[in-house]
Amino acid sequence: MGRMRRALSLLLVALALTACKVDTTVDVIVQPDGSGTITVTAVADAELVAQAPGLAEDLRFDDAVAAGWVLTPPAATDAGGLQVVLAHQFATVEEATALLASLNGPDGPLHDVVLSRVVTDDAVTTSLSGSVRVANGVDAFADPEVLAAIGGSPYADDIAATGLRPADIVTFTLTAALPGDATTSASGTAPITQPLSWSVPLDGTTADLATTAVLAQSKEAGGMWGTVSTVALIALVAWCVLSVAFIAFVAKARRDRARRRPSPSAR
């Protein structure tokens, strides 16, 4: 995902010079079977597009596409901005964890983010752990190679010169939709509305992601099929018994007729 971080770096360079804004959202959707989709959406505002009219052509996501991400090419928003969407499906929560790690890089805002899943006869429990935090301001969204090439970050000073805060320039939001009733460390046992959403603080503070969602296994369907199979078994046994009884009845009837039939000598 290095190319994606370079794309964000290009956006940040433009932001530092124009005091415009980019909003990035990472949406994680997990299905009951552990599969799902990760979608990354980056939206630059109209002012940035006006200041950098060739921005859409400058963005390249070749290595992201090669890594299996599906790109929705840069497109204009209703407000005159520019939106880019990347999506990647996953088959297991372990694969989702690896995708988030590759998306984040070593210095990104996602820290030790892990999705896990436990299945029992009674429930499917899906858990999200880790935290979101930005230790180096907007540099966390830039590619380290780009920063090294330009000899450090010019963003902080340029953004400060505009009189704006980093949060006025760039936002990063993580959302997660997990199967079942979800609770967080803050909500205790009280279910909370999904999808869950965390805005990454740019002041160095940490937001805890600890979330557990429990989806009760449907016993109604299992009970129905269990009842059907039991009835079918009883019917099979009954059919076998009746068949044996019928054969025995027919055999007995033939023997009785044979005994009642007069012998040839008696005629």
Measure the N-to-C terminal CA separation of the chain; round to a whole number of Å.
105
Contact between residue 36 and residue 89 where contact means Cβ atoms under 8 Å apart: yes
pLDDT at 260 (0 to 100) = 60
pLDDT at 163 (0 to 100) = 56
pLDDT at 182 (0 to 100) = 95
For 50, other C-beta atoms within 10 Å of its C-beta total: 13
* Ordered mean pLDDT values, 10 residues apiece, the chain (267 residues): 49 51 90 96 84 74 86 90 92 96 79 95 95 70 50 52 61 93 85 90 85 84 45 53 58 60 57
Question: Domain residues of the chain, as ranges?
Answer: 2-217, 220-266
pLDDT at 114 (0 to 100) = 97
pLDDT at 181 (0 to 100) = 94
SS3 165: coil
pLDDT at 48 (0 to 100) = 75
Within the chain, strands assigned E span: 22-30, 36-44, 70-76, 82-90, 110-119, 123-133, 170-177, 181-184, 196-199, 206-208, 211-216
pLDDT at 32 (0 to 100) = 95
pLDDT at 246 (0 to 100) = 54
Amino acid at position 110, single letter = L
For 150, other C-beta atoms within 10 Å of its C-beta total: 12
pLDDT at 245 (0 to 100) = 59
